[in-house]
Amino acid sequence: MNDERMRESVRVMLTETGEDPAREGLMRTPERVAKSMRFMTSGYGMDVKTVVNEAIFKVNYSEMVIVKDIDFYSLCEHHLLPFFGRCHVAYLPRGRVIGLSKIPRLVEMFSRRLQVQERLTNQIAEILSEVLDPLGVGVVMEGTHLCMLMRGVEKQNSFAVTSAMLGGFRNDARTRAEFLELLKLSGSMRTRLNPSADGGGGESG
């Protein structure tokens, strides 16, 4: 990221809104915005090998592993406004497990980018599947989007739920239902993500 170009872009934007970039309260705003953008898009400079750091271990364990309520913060690529919420990740080991702290780090690696929640959900599931080769991966994300709250429809109580189910979580309704039950999701959300429990045959995510 070219900091000077970023600072100049912010000055232009301030001017176009009718503000004076030289007034006291705004003099350091371009610098602050450039620093913030570096941090909020730091995921582009991260790579999976460094994040995982060989923290994959052979373990004789085949039951579901869940890390839930992982806070995430990201930027909507359409409006550059924040969206944030919680991410829940589960996998079925195939003789190998990953250090538990690495799962939130993988979530952060992809969330600290310009994103849409649907792609973010898939990327987390796919990278965990790639590095672990488990029997299955399930990811559910609940996000509040400021592009919906501050502009557009301005619906203050709305949030988005996305899911990605791979392997055993996609193919086995009981495994999927166990995951959603362990998350203690509301009945309406569980029906949406697990339609077979309501007599339907579709699959979300």
Please identify which residue in the block is written with the tokens 């509040």.
144
145 as an active site residue: the answer is yes
31 as an active site residue: the answer is no
Q: Which of 8, 24, 145, 181 is catalytic?
A: 145
Classify 138 as helix, strand or coil.
strand
Q: And the tokens for 39?
A: 């941090």
147 as an active site residue: the answer is yes
Q: Which of 31, 77, 130, 181 is catalytic?
A: 77
How many other C-beta atoms are found inside a 10 Å radius of the C-beta of residue 131? Answer: 18
Q: And the tokens for 58?
A: 């052979």
Amino acid at residue number 108: E
Cα(194)–Cα(61) distance, rounded to whole angstroms?
A: 26
Which 8-state DSSP code applies to residue 101? T
123 as an active site residue: the answer is no
77 as an active site residue: the answer is yes
Residue length of the chain: 205
Cα(187)–Cα(116) distance, rounded to whole angstroms?
A: 25
Q: Which of 19, 79, 126, 203 is catalytic?
A: 79
Q: And the tokens for 150?
A: 């501050």
Q: Which of 88, 108, 117, 142 is catalytic?
A: 117
Q: Which of 126, 147, 178, 203 is catalytic?
A: 147
Q: Which of 45-49's residues contact partners 24+ apart within 8 Å by CB, and which partners? A: 46/108, 46/109, 46/112, 48/106, 48/109, 48/127, 48/130, 48/131
How many other C-beta atoms are found inside a 10 Å radius of the C-beta of residue 201? Answer: 7
Residues assigned a catalytic role: 76-79, 117, 145, 147
